[in-house]
């Protein structure tokens, strides 16, 4: 069993909770940053296997360097997962999204440099890859692709801008300071939740299952299971040959495909009645992640486990 110390930022979140869980199972000592360790919404973390001995919760804020350094100090590796993900339109994108993502990443990486961390894995997003209006139609996108910042601004896609700004900042900082950095760019993350509150990406499925919307747009969704992303993040840390960016996406499915599959698992009357068509989006090339040894489960399993989780938590009542 490893007794290596690592830090996970935003430890109580949807993806980060699974990262913490898997690290503890593998025998790591985990420093997890949360807003308030005494808050019961982080109680699930203390129920994980080996948590009693090996999990330490640190009160930290992305904008407070000293609180982050306290959590990172003494760690061999750091998983920077924390980043604001809006579940509704934001009133002030700069304050609510861009600054926490950008300054938070800067603070985490500075703490990693000061603490002499051996490897940092930053969780970015395909939001930092895909927003490029000039990309040739039909050509798959890979890790060399970046969202265009100016287009993110003009189209007011503030989440994409926040992820693009923060990941590009991470690479600039790492090159300047010689920091061993790997980034993972997951697609839309679904799957069972360990935390008590519904996260933004899970709301996509919850809306289809529960809201009974009359009209939905039949757009492309690039999808990956939260458990598979957590495994990808651990691979990016443990495989020393890992380098650069890694796109992490398992499937592309249209809204209608998701509805059809969900109907077989959760029959009900109020699925969307009308689907309007949307333009096809570029496919993603995930060969680099697969070559690292990554595997993913089926879309049907991810959907079934998501529905089961929502039912157990009373989200669909």
φ and ψ at residue 247, rounded to 5 degrees: -75, 135
Q: DSSP secondary structure string, 203-226?
A: HHHHIIIII--SEEEE-EEEEEEH
Q: Which helix (H) or strand (E) holds 128?
A: none
Token readout for 48 is 């994980």
Q: Which helix (H) or strand (E) holds 120?
A: strand 119-123
Tell me if 297 sits within 8 A of 224, measured CB to CB.
no
Q: Which of 99, 128, 113 is nearest to 69 (CA)?
A: 113
Q: Which of 140, 301, 166 is nearest to 228 (CA)?
A: 301
User: Active site includes 2?
Assistant: no
As a whole number of Å, the end-to-end CA separation of the chain is: 42
Tell me if 151 sits within 8 A of 131, measured CB to CB.
yes
Q: Name the burial class of residue 264, with classes exposed (0-12), middle (13-18) and buried (19+) by CB atoms within 10 angstroms of its CB.
A: exposed
- From the list 41, 116, 149, 163, the catalytic residue is 163
Tell me if 124 sits within 8 A of 167, measured CB to CB.
yes
Q: DSSP secondary structure string, 52-112?
A: HHHEEEEE--TT-HHHHHHHHTT-SEEEE------SS--S-HIIIIIHHHHHHHHHHHHHH
What distance in Å separates the CA atoms of residue 70 and residue 81, rounded to the nearest whole number? 17
Residues recognised as catalytic: 163
């Amino acid at each position: 069993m490893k007794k290596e110390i690592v830090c996970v930022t935003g430890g109580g979140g949807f993806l980060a909770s699974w990262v913490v869980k898997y690290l503890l199972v593998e025998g790591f000592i985990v420093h997890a940053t949360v807003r308030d360790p005494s808050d019961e919404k982080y109680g699930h973390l203390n129920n994980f296997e080996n948590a009693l001995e090996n999990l330490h919760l640190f009160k930290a804020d992305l904008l407070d360097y000293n609180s982050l350094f306290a959590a990172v100090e003494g760690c061999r590796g750091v998983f920077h997962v924390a980043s604001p993900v809006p579940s509704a339109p934001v009133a002030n994108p700069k304050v609510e999204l861009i600054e926490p993502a950008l300054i938070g990443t800067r603070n985490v990486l500075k703490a990693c440099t000061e603490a002499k961390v051996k490897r940092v894995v930053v969780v970015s997003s395909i939001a930092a890859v895909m927003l490029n209006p000039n990309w040739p139609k039909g050509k798959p996108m890979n890790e060399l692709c970046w969202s265009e910042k100016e287009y993110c601004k003009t189209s007011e896609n503030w989440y994409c801008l926040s992820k693009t700004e923060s990941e590009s900042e991470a690479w600039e900082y790492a090159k300047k300071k010689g920091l061993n950095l790997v980034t993972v760019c997951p697609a839309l993350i679904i799957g069972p939740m360990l935390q008590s509150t519904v996260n933004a990406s899970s709301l996509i499925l919850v809306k289809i299952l529960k809201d009974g919307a009359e009209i939905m747009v039949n757009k492309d969704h690039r999808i990956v299971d939260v458990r598979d992303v957590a495994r990808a993040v651990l691979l990016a840390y443990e495989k020393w040959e890992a380098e650069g960016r890694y796109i992490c996406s398992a499937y592309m499915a249209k809204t209608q495909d998701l509805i059809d599959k969900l109907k077989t698992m959760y029959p009900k009357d109020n699925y969307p009645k009308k689907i309007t068509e949307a333009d096809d989006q570029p496919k993603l090339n995930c060969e680099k992640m697969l070559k690292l040894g990554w595997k993913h489960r089926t879309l049907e399993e991810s959907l079934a486990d998501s529905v089961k989780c929502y039912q157990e938590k009373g989200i669909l009542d």
